Structure 1
Amino acid sequence: MGITDYNNDSDEPSTISGLYLALCAVNLAEAAGSSSDGLPRAIMAQIYLAASIRCRLALPKLLAPFFSGYFMRRARRHVRRAPEHSVSHLLWLFHPVTRKYVSDTKRLENVLSSKQKLRFGSFVEDEQLSPLSRIRTTLKVYLLSKLVQELVGGDEIFTKNVERILNDNDRLDDEVDVVDVSRLLVSISTQCAGVLTNEKDESAKFGQWLSRNGDACCTWWTHVLTCGIYWRGNKNELARQHYSLIRNCPPEILKDNLGLSVGHALCARKICIDDRDSPKVSQYVCLHTKKALESLRLFSTSRTSGVVSGIQDGTRRMAYEWVMSSLLDAWRSNLFASKPYWTQSFKGQQMFSTLYQEAYNHYALINGTRGDCWRLFVYELTSRMLNGANPQATWSGVRRVRSTKMDAVRGRVSMRRSAQPDAFHLHTLVKLHSVMDI
């Protein structure tokens, strides 16, 4: 091609120069071939992948999809014919979600051209700054944000930081296949490359640089968020499949206040769901919720990218909601169903009221800018109930929430999913006040 142009206002090569070098690499790889005395198929696949990315960045919009797709298909052909352990770290690139993610040229350009060190908190471990590593890391953050959006509801936690998002133009509003996203995240984050046991293997000629370490933090967060989504959908059997993996908590999470608080809140919720028949359920729930609130008090938002800031806000809200739901569930387990709750008292009742009041105050503070939110109103009613408020006034508020929810179901009013009242709290409030529904 003979093109080696440079930008006029920069000492760095232009995208055309990068495309030229990528195509030269393709020509040399084709000349060497992939036979026993040629290049390993894993190397061939990476060369074609680099050419595909360069075509996406350098060519016009009409030509980029065609040529980028051509080199991507060539790469996939080599991946299918290569030994599995030598190309397992590349399989994520051919997933439909990944193809959609890299199809955004502006986002891809921002990810690859950014000179700043990307900060992702405790959600994703830092990797080497190769092009594929940058794409892999930002994709993991994007997929985690999809799970947080599905769990918390709505994308308003990301809109305030949309300027700092890595050109996330789709605004995280497409539907989420929880199983698909979770499996993709786990496959990206776990150890992908096998141990090279055969010295005559073609990839062994290039040493062990093809292998990489897994991302324990991202794997842990993936299982936590997936478990929470299953809980919300009353799919407790599917949620239990993630317990053993969540227990294997990485050391980085134990040192992070947000991760530690989410872990304690999850333990409290798990006790209420699976161990509610235990005689010490109240004691354990109070212990875990107290530790969760202590860690949440120590948490402070760090300097991160826009998407990560949204993930932090969403997981913090999730932790507070798990704490409040667990306290309400454990408090209710100490009541007798045959008597009105306002006539009963038991040992440790004040502890439930104090912990719930603190959780609600913090939750209301971080959600203060979201306007009229029926979810927040239900938590307020529960807090008043646990602190001995007039049951008639509480029941009046519950009836208002039920009426508004039914109007939303009938289409009379619109209600964002994130603003909808918490189903567990509303059901519990109705059941405790059913004696007043005369």
Structure 2
Amino acid sequence: MKEERPVKIKVEDLVLIFGKQKESALKMLKEGHTKKEILAKTQCTVGINRANFEIYEGEFFVIMGLSGSGKSTLLRCLNRLIEPTGGNIYVNGNDITRKNHQELLDVRRTEMSMVFQKFGLLPHRSVLDNVAFGLEIRGEELEARTKKAQQAIDTVGLQGFEQQSPSQLSGGMQQRVGLARALTNDPEVLLMDEAFSALDPLIKTEMQDELISLQNKLRKTVIFVTHDLDEAIKLGDRIVIMKDGIIEQIGTAEEILTNPATPYVEAFVEKVDRKTIITAGSLMHQKPTTVRFGKDGPEGTLRKMRTTGLDVLPVVDDNQTFLGFVWVNDAVLCAKRKDPTVESILKKEVPTVTTEVTVEEMLPLITATRSPIAVTDKDTGVLLGIVSQNSVVIEATRFNEQEITELKENANHN
């Protein structure tokens, strides 16, 4: 990860084994035996297989995979709701696998909070009392916990519902109560276990948007478990993809889509709408040949065009600031006129973007022009690269093999 941020959670060689012969199974695992071999020999199931990763402070970290992949198990190991078989888990540099019961309770009450899929609300308590419940268990006075609970209720947009019971609320509102309860003790880390999977699609989308808004404001470290790839892409700064207890890949959505680490990951992401994810930073041709304004005249420009085989080149100043494009036909006319510079043929009204702009956002830029797209630094205007129109169109209309097969089958059927 390029951005320098403190490490909030560090996981080293984390192993979780279910079964009675854990020591034998762990020995086999270290010797390189497969999950299937270990199960056959010891009747033990490997839930997490030597996981190693770091989570940065303020990061939205998504763990995803299909049912049985180990994603929820991994999450519950982070606060030791499930006891790991081996490895270390560091939170703020402290190894929580070595903490005693009371120390672990203190971590859960002050540093970590958890939001569950099933909400876990107390049916006979009001919204306010549900939100304040964790503070009550912690022993805080009524006035203090009521104030904190009200602040959390306001944060998640439940003002006016304080005295309602959970049964009077919709699923989405109940999940907001669960989120508010997790926020009352101002945790540094928020663990969310498929928190939105029980909601209908419209409410789920609203809750995702609400969570993004909250994260932009609160900047918590969030570890979010989901089986929904679209949800993972929408929410996550980075994504972990798991299979059979093994971490297949960790990266941003764009890294995973453009460079899948394994065939499983490639198959997993093949139906994602790439144009909403792939950015100019991935598509651009870096360090393109440029025309230096004031130094390269028409003849020099034509020489560079002949050398590169390109009929359009970007123009920059001495500081590499992007100024515009020049085309070969214009350069030829300019040379015939013996103009000393390319100023008269410089096209300044051309599309420019920054590295994070997506293919979907670039498509409208190429409809009314034949120009490539210049990628520039948002602060300095320095040219970073060039995105061709062809690469935008190809990425926007890209079919994977499965989609092509389906199209052929539909054509044959019709």
Normalised TM-score (structure 2): 0.24
Structure of higher CA gyration radius: 2
Normalised TM-score (structure 1): 0.23
Q: Choose between structure 1 and 2: higher strand proportion.
A: 2
